[in-house]
């Protein structure tokens, strides 16, 4: 069984991978389970990926987690598997698996795995609880986001009670950060451009990342820290990733629905939280212009 997820793994994707492997190992100990993809060094405490030989994919079951479309899967060898299952909470972009479990009303992919475990009366462990709780908490931003429901709270409470996890220790791991990231946050705040329409944006070149000694994933990982600011409705970080010849784009909204615009620009996600990977020659000014118009129209409607 090979567990896959989207590139640039976040806590929900990594927690789903590691949590599902721990769940399978607890209940089906004879199964061989691999984690596929590149390591997210900042989140290595959640999951460490395996070096998987090509032949392991032949005759395998691939389970793709937290990924709405096939081209975003980290390690495209999943297509070589005999059978593919997808488990995801993003609005569906395409069907690419033999069997799909997609619920866009769920708070996170980790929540779906917790639900699955309880529905099928599977045995849990402390490791299962820790990994799935980390993913659920991170993707809801500590139970603040739209799809946090009574079910989310009840599943979290049940998981804590049944697996005896230390949530304070987990919070310490999740929100601990190096000084370099604090300096990056200051740089972003200082250099964020805010337009009259209500769009905030920043283009972060590779040389700034090198100067601050952070990787290209660091800015997009902190985009939620810029929520609830009175001067803008939508904010976008466009980060140069020279190593992969692309821009990493992350967008958030406090009102306007951004999903359709990001899909137009080869990205996607949720109504108010989206991302994209764009080539370095992409005209991102068109994306910024579309977001400005969106903010302008939203403000006019609200007025």
Between β-strands 2-5 and 34-35, what pairing exists: parallel, antiparallel or unpaired?
A: parallel
Q: For the segment 125-155, what is each residue's pLDDT rounded down to a tens digit?
A: 999 999 999 999 999 989 988 889 999 999 9
Question: 51 is written with which tokens?
Answer: 């070096």
Paired residues of 6 in beta bridges: 73
**Mean pLDDT taken over the chain:** 95
Domain covering 179-302: architecture: Roll (3.10)
What's the pLDDT score for residue 190?
98
**Region label for 90, one of left (φ > 0), alpha (ψ between -120 and 50) or beta (otherwise):** beta
Coil, strand or helix at 176:
coil
User: Could you tell me the pLDDT band of residue 269, with boundaries at 50, 70 and 90?
Assistant: confident
Burial status of residue 204 (CB atoms within 10 A of its CB: 0-12, 13-18, 19 or more): buried
Q: Which pTM value belongs to this model?
A: 0.88
Domain covering 2-175: architecture: Alpha-Beta Complex (3.90)
Q: How far apart are CA 116 and CA 126, in angstroms?
A: 17
Compare 303 and 38 and report the one with higher pLDDT. Answer: 38
In percent, the amount of the chain with pLDDT more than 90 equals 89
In the predicted model, what is the mean pLDDT of residues 161-190? Answer: 96
In the predicted model, what is the mean pLDDT of residues 154-172? Answer: 98
Domain regions of the chain by residue span: 2-175, 179-302
What's the pLDDT score for residue 93?
81
Q: In the sheet that 267-269 helps form, which strands lie side by side, from edge to edge?
A: 193-194, 199-204, 234-241, 246-253, 273-279, 267-269
Q: For the segment 36-95, what is each residue's pLDDT rounded down to a tens digit?
A: 999 998 899 999 999 999 999 999 999 999 999 998 899 999 999 999 999 999 988 889
What's the pLDDT score for residue 132?
99
In the predicted model, what is the mean pLDDT of residues 169-175? Answer: 95
Instruction: Give yes or no for a contact between 193 and 221, defined as CB atoms under 8 angstroms apart.
Output: no
User: Could you tell me the pLDDT band of residue 221, with boundaries at 50, 70 and 90?
Assistant: confident
Count the Cβ atoms, other than its own, within 10 Å of residue 174.
Answer: 19
In the predicted model, what is the mean pLDDT of residues 218-247? Answer: 94
Q: For the segment 95-134, what is each residue's pLDDT rounded down to a tens digit?
A: 999 999 999 999 999 999 999 999 999 999 999 999 999 9
- Give how far the C-alpha of residue 216 lies from the chain's centroid of Cα atoms, to the nearest Å: 15
What's the pLDDT score for residue 167?
97
User: Could you tell me the pLDDT band of residue 293, with boundaries at 50, 70 and 90?
Assistant: very high
In the predicted model, what is the mean pLDDT of residues 157-177? Answer: 96
Coil, strand or helix at 271:
coil
What's the pLDDT score for residue 303?
76
């Amino acid at each position: 069984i090979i567990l896959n997820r989207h590139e640039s793994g976040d806590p929900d994707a990594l927690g789903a991978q590691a949590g599902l492997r721990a769940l399978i190992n607890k209940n089906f100990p004879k199964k061989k389970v691999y984690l596929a993809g590149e390591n997210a060094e900042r989140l290595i405490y959640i999951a460490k990926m395996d070096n998987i030989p090509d032949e392991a994919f032949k005759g395998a079951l691939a389970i793709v987690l937290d990924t709405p479309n096939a081209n975003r899967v980290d390690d495209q060898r999943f297509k070589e598997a005999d059978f593919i299952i997808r488990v995801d909470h993003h609005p569906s972009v395409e069907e690419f698996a033999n069997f799909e479990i997609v619920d866009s009303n769920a708070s996170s992919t980790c929540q779906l795995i917790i639900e699955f475990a309880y529905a099928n009366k599977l045995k849990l462990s402390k490791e299962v609880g820790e990994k799935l709780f980390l993913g659920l908490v991170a993707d809801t931003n500590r139970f603040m986001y739209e799809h946090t429901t009574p079910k989310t709270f009840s599943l979290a409470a049940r998981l804590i009670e049944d697996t005896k996890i230390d949530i304070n220790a987990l919070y310490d791991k999740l929100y601990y950060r190096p000084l370099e990231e604090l300096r990056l946050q200051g740089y972003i705040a200082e250099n964020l451009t805010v337009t009259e329409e209500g769009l905030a944006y920043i283009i972060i070149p590779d040389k700034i990342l090198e100067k601050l000694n952070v990787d290209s994933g660091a800015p997009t990982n902190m985009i939620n820290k810029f929520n609830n600011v009175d001067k803008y409705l939508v904010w976008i970080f466009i980060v140069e990733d020279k190593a992969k010849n692309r821009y990493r784009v992350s967008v958030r909204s406090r009102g306007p629905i951004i999903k359709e615009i990001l899909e137009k620009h080869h990205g996607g996600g949720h109504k108010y939280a989206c991302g994209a990977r764009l080539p370095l020659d992409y005209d991102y000014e068109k994306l910024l212009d579309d977001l400005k118009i969106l903010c302008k129209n939203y403000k006019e409607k609200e007025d």
